[in-house]
Structure 1
Amino acid sequence: MTHVLPVAAPEKRRIPSVERLLAHPDGQSLAESFGRSALTDAIRGDLARIRSGETSAGDEAAILARCGEALAAEREPSLRPVFNLTGTVLHTNLGRALLPRSAAEAVTAVMTQATNLEFDLATGQRGERDDHIERLICRITGAEAAIVVNNNAAAVLLVLNALAMRKEVVVSRGELVEIGGSFRVPDVMVRAGCKLREVGTTNRTHLRDFAEAMGPATGLAMKVHPSNYAISGFTAQPDPDALHALCRERGVPLAEDLGSGSLIDLAAYGLPPEPTVSAALSRADVVTFSGDKLLGAVQCGIVAGRKDLLARIRKSPLKRALRVDKMTYAALEAVLRLYLHPERLREELPTLRLLTRERADIAAQAERLAPEVAERLRGHAGVAVTETMSQIGSGALPVETLPSAALVLTPEAEGRSRSTGGRCRRLAERLRGAPVPIIGRIKDDTVLLDLRTLEDERGFLDSLAAL
């Protein structure tokens, strides 16, 4: 009978100690770069994987190299710039509006030192943070007063809670919308302590429906702009001025949620028309809208309207919970000031500049870039130029599109087992792995890169070259 004596695995016998690796020249260099504690944790983790058989040991330099790569990866920020070539200008998942340089500089200035956020420099007393932007909003929109909270959903919640808590809110059934993240108007009303009073039908609501629903229990009437959908055909909604007159007659405030909230007439710039805040304020007492959509600023929600109603809203305990910080005020103020010089607005406001790019200019850019992109993707994909349609995004003008041009990337075959769809997904994955990730969209077994929002051509090509 043959007896086999147990022998310790040679792999495990070669595992160095933590102290030996820390004393290694490469270990000392890594400790200098990342800190001794962080390196120690990384070494222990790698040694544990070696002992479990998940990783082969290698020599000391190999272990430390793996630790260095892990520590470097941890240093990479999670929130990173990307190239948005999806064809959606205001892409919610990609950060919506781009800030102008003046706004970025204003944010930097208040980030690194103390500011007069809630301090009145004239009196030396405590100030109100909304004072930094209220006069600008009122000047641009014609509102009597304005406040800022952290997004438009918060603005709607605050208005409902402050003006109609424990009361009914009358809304047309056709405007009970759901926006991104399953945010539904009826649910917000419940959370705000209001009772929903639906009137009319999905496609047709009349003035008499509002009139019949209003009574002693009514706290507010509300209109919701259908910014992320459209109902066409046999439809009807009350005339806005007539509804406002009815609300004044009954002593019921009328609030309108505009969603995107444009401050200018987009039609004057050759874009599809969208209701402006000024127009909404002429037919409603309170208007809510976003700061990071068509306005082109930072994420926030703005409430504008009658001074007496805004005073009630300002006193709500929710106002403090939903307030914004100094960086938001700095960025918003800088963007609002651009609206005071409308002759230069298209040039200085990135959102308006990108929305108004001519197809001919984008097509010329595509033709110029195509050969260089083809060279960088040689062996990975063929490159062609095509006409396409962009969209505004973030719920603005959902059925309207903008003529654009794109690069069409057709992935080359990588083996019999990979389907065309699989090759497209793999190519899109490679693009997302670029130093500055490139985000396009898959269409008809190709990867489409819509160039409407591409302004940094050199950065785009450099990122492709690093694939």
Structure 2
Amino acid sequence: MSGKPDTKASAGERQDTASPAGAESGAQAAAGAIHLPAVHLILSDAACAPLIAEYGRVQTLEAARMLLAELRGMMLASRRDGMPPTGDTGIPAILAMLATRLRETNRSPLRPVFNLTGTVLHTNLGRALLPDSAVQAVAEALRWPMNLEWDIDTGKRGDRDNLIEDLLLELTGAEAATIVNNNAAAVLLMLNTIAQGKEVIVSRGELVEIGGAFRIPDIMTRAGAVLREVGSTNRTHLKDYAEAAGPQTALMMKVHCSNYAITGFTKSVELPELAPLSKKHNIPLAVDLGSGTLVDLEQYGLPHETTVRETIAGGADLVTFSGDKLLGGPQCGIIVGRADLIAQIKKNPLKRALRVGKLTLAALEPVLALYRAPDLLPGRLTTLKLLTRPAAHIRELAQALLLPLQAALGVGYEVSSEPMMSQIGSGALPVDQLPSHGLVVRAAAAGRISNALGILEQRLRALPLPVIGRVAQDALWLDLRCLDDHQRQRFTDQLALLAL
């Protein structure tokens, strides 16, 4: 490409001069012309060549036309109001505005952020972060055709569930497994397959609602199952299940109350007590674990959460759980259990509608493989690494970042390093918290707390890599549990943009 600007332009480009739709009206003409460069002169300018190379001529042309039309409208409005024209409307200035517009238009709405909310598995921020092995596997699956449903050994069509089934059986002790796009889909598919048109017995104390207005009674209705409530909100006994069991009962179901806790005068029927009753009546017993973990978290200093293996060993015929919560993998819903019931589920036409693609399977397999070495898991599984991060380590990071943040915010704010409590998130262990540390920002002047914090919270979200904290108790809390050491430099590099 020569260094000379391209002065050639299509007829359509040459028509876009001072007016977007032909000649101005008589009143406008009488008031004088609006002087703006023609669109073909803007596109032929040498400084526009990089924009055309990056965004294409068609998109750049359309953006230039829209920009000129807006500038023309603002200039006419200023003239009508008797105001002098403002702003530079030369080609360099217009190209700068055009570059900004094209960059903003083409910026992806799905962007990385700093999660300083104190919630590790934050549903609104994408839940679990994948370990490097999973990231690399997804990148490979993006670049190559994969044997998603092709048996390389036989040269015939295969089953995509087979790619991860052996690992799941090894880790859970189940007879069979299948996978769909999330745990809500897993529950829906299970209920529709096993209990369509029949009753499902559930304790009233387990009729949960989770984020996004997902309610067990609603999903029962959508699945075509009939909900049979037993017991009361705070107390359910084994006899309640026994008295409800009958010819129309297709399933007994326990739902893990992962997003709340009932305390006080309570009673629930645990799995070892309920399983013999379900076997006696030949009624399958399903457990929706929700979060689901494959290892005993107590060995890593975390609160105990019932594992999938414990649930299968306790007598559950089917277990559903998420892939992107405590398991630490991609979004998916996993169903494990009896081989005959899993076979029925896989034959349901809904299974095809709810199945996962190669990227999910590519990410899930290496995550599951990490569980074969539980002693190495805290250093390899990103979710567990964040959950087990020592508070002392986080405190050191907070103290190192205090002065840079204070310098960027200036005298209008006071920054302190303080202890705080993180939570696991996504309904996992809702009453358990993790000692953490972070930065707390307060308004320096009384009487402007709400406005000052609101402005700061907005400015943090407007950074190139948005910072998401939480406002509480007249302060902005930045929990640093999820700020990895390798992200620290990127965090500090953009603090200068906060300077007032």
Equivalent pairs counted in the alignment come to 460
What percentage of residue pairs aligned between the two structures are identical?
Answer: 53
Superposed displacement of residue 254, structure 1: 0.6
Superposed displacement of residue 9, structure 1: 6.7
Q: Is the 8 A contact 1:267 1:273 kept in 2?
A: yes
Look up the SS of the partner of 1:51 in the other structure.
Answer: helix
Structure 2 counterpart of 1:296, from 328, 346, 358? 328
Superposed displacement of residue 237, structure 1: 1.2
1:320-352 CA-partner distances (Å, limit 9, x unpaired)? 000001111011000000000111100001111
Q: Is the 8 A contact 2:404 2:495 kept in 1?
A: no
The answer to whether the aligner puts 1:330 opposite 2:362 as a matched pair is yes
Gaps of 5+ in 1: none
Q: Give the Cα–Cα distance (whole angstroms) in 1 for the partners of residues 150 and 432 of structure 2.
A: 45
In structure 1, what is the equivalent of residue 305 of structure 2?
A: 274
Superposed displacement of residue 272, structure 1: 1.1
Residues 376-385 or 350-359, more deviating: 376-385
Aligned CA distance change for structure 1 residues 157 and 9 (closer, same or farther; 3 Å): farther
The answer to whether the aligner puts 1:350 opposite 2:382 as a matched pair is yes
Aligned CA distance change for structure 1 residues 188 and 12 (closer, same or farther; 3 Å): farther
Q: Is the 8 A contact 1:431 1:464 kept in 2?
A: no
Superposed displacement of residue 409, structure 1: 1.5
Look up the SS of the partner of 1:78 in the other structure.
Answer: coil
The answer to whether the aligner puts 1:51 opposite 2:72 as a matched pair is yes
Gaps of 5+ in 2: 1-25, 78-85
Structure 1 counterpart of 2:54, from 33, 41, 56? 33
Aligned pairs for 1:47-86 (under 5 A) are 47-53=68-74, 58-86=89-117
Look up the SS of the partner of 1:187 in the other structure.
Answer: helix
In structure 2, what is the equivalent of residue 428 of structure 1?
A: 457
In structure 2, what is the equivalent of residue 123 of structure 1?
A: 154
In structure 2, what is the equivalent of residue 249 of structure 1?
A: 280
TM-score by length of 2: 0.89
Look up the SS of the partner of 2:128 in the other structure.
Answer: coil
Aligned pairs for 1:11-30 (under 5 A) are 12-30=33-51
RMSD: 1.8
Look up the SS of the partner of 1:188 in the other structure.
Answer: helix
TM-score by length of 1: 0.95
Structure 1 counterpart of 2:440, from 408, 428, 451? 408
Structure 1 counterpart of 2:410, from 370, 375, 378? 378
Q: Is the 8 A contact 1:271 1:356 kept in 2?
A: yes
The answer to whether the aligner puts 1:142 opposite 2:163 as a matched pair is no
Q: Give the Cα–Cα distance (whole angstroms) in 2 for the partners of residues 458 and 243 of structure 1.
A: 53
1:177-212 CA-partner distances (Å, limit 9, x unpaired)? 100000111110111111111111111111111111
In structure 1, what is the equivalent of residue 121 of structure 2?
A: 90
Structure 1 counterpart of 2:295, from 260, 264, 270? 264
Q: Give the Cα–Cα distance (whole angstroms) in 2 for the partners of residues 333 and 363 of structure 1.
A: 35
> Partner amino acid for 2:51?
L
Residues 273-282 or 28-37, more deviating: 28-37
Q: Is the 8 A contact 2:292 2:325 kept in 1?
A: yes
Q: Give the Cα–Cα distance (whole angstroms) in 2 for the partners of residues 184 and 135 of structure 1.
A: 32
> Partner amino acid for 1:448?
W
Q: Give the Cα–Cα distance (whole angstroms) in 1 for the partners of residues 50 and 386 of structure 2.
A: 46
In structure 2, what is the equivalent of residue 317 of structure 1?
A: 349
Look up the SS of the partner of 1:96 in the other structure.
Answer: coil
Aligned pairs for 1:420-459 (under 5 A) are 420-455=449-484, 456-459=487-490
In structure 1, what is the equivalent of residue 3 of structure 2?
A: none
Superposed displacement of residue 380, structure 1: 4.9
Aligned CA distance change for structure 1 residues 25 and 156 (closer, same or farther; 3 Å): same
Superposed displacement of residue 375, structure 1: 2.6
Look up the SS of the partner of 2:120 in the other structure.
Answer: coil
Q: Is the 8 A contact 1:12 1:51 kept in 2?
A: no
Aligned CA distance change for structure 1 residues 252 and 9 (closer, same or farther; 3 Å): farther
Q: Is the 8 A contact 1:189 1:196 kept in 2?
A: yes
In structure 1, what is the equivalent of residue 80 of structure 2?
A: none
